[in-house]
Amino acid sequence: MSELRRNILHCIGNTSLIALRNIVPANGARILLKLESENPTGSMKDRMALAMIEAAEADGRLKPGGAVVEYTGGSTGVSLSLVCAVKGHPLHIVTSDAFAQEKLDHMKILGAKLEIVPSDGGRMTGKLTRDMIEAARIIALEIGAFWTDQMKNEDQIVAYHAMAEEIWADTAGRINGFVQSVGTAASLRGIGEGLRRHNEQVRVIAVEPSESAVLSGDEPGAHKIDGVGAGFVVPLWRHDLADEIERVSTGEAIAMAMRLAREEGLFAGTSTGANVIAALRLAERLGSDATIVTVMCDTGMKYLRNYGAVHLPV
């Protein structure tokens, strides 16, 4: 008999870890995928949203019934919408038409008030990120809301330390590499730090869009991998943590997301497709005795309209 949970927030975390069966290199490492789609909103961002809100409640920055504001590409906003709905905090979200409509609809259904910042043809750019951040700052000042400010908020890192502990326990400490795409950089940093507390030899690989490979030293550009590639070096990024930075294009990420659905039965978003591309590259380098963990960041149900625009074959 399963445990009775006090509320939906107690269902966050402790997600499954499974091995890819068909999408594997011929002579490469075993690739394990952390199924963050099992979280209540279908995203790993549930972890960090809860951590940021609870930390602010604990130290008095967020009073009972106090308003919250955040800028987001969608998944963080949906997760904050869930947490704030349960805890009774009015939520103001700054987002854009560049992101999946399903996410925007989900936020509204959970009670968030949205401000939409227009994008450049539906593409993610550094200017769009900066415009959203400024809009959130102004709202926070005008209404006296607590601004979670995810790009700078280190309260979320503890949530990813806990995720690292789950990965370590589920692999019984047999992990040679960890691969994760970079949005705010909090998950890569928190999980990487957590794993290296156990074993300093774990290789940590960052993933970014090849069209906007700013962490690699390139100029910013536009891409359509939701939730990653801000277009500038984000404040929580640490160059000394990542052993390598892999560049993955939007086309590669979408194609791999489709393969995961058809060959593994795993329907995920584009950032997951990018993660698996980079994990396969690492798997070929590390060889058959190694184990690599990467993340299914969220469910593909958040991207149905976007994927439909790819003109999928019947």
Kindly list the catalytic residues.
45, 271
Backbone CA torsion sign across 230, 107, 299, 162: positive
What is the C-alpha R_g of the chain? 18
| CA 164 to centroid of chain Cα atoms | 15
Distance, in Å, from the CA atom of 243 to the CA atom of 250, rounded to the nearest integer, reads 23
**Interior angle at CA 150, CA 146 and CA 155, nearest 5:** 80
Is 27 within 8 Å of 288 (Cβ atoms)? yes
Tokens of 142: 């005008």
Which residue matches tokens 């854009």? 96
Surface-to-core class of residue 217, CB atoms within 10 Å of its CB (0-12 exposed, 13-18 middle, 19+ buried): exposed
Tokens of 285: 């380098």
Distance, in Å, from the CA atom of 286 to the CA atom of 90, rounded to the nearest integer, reads 48
Which residue matches tokens 């445990």? 3
8-state DSSP, 290: -
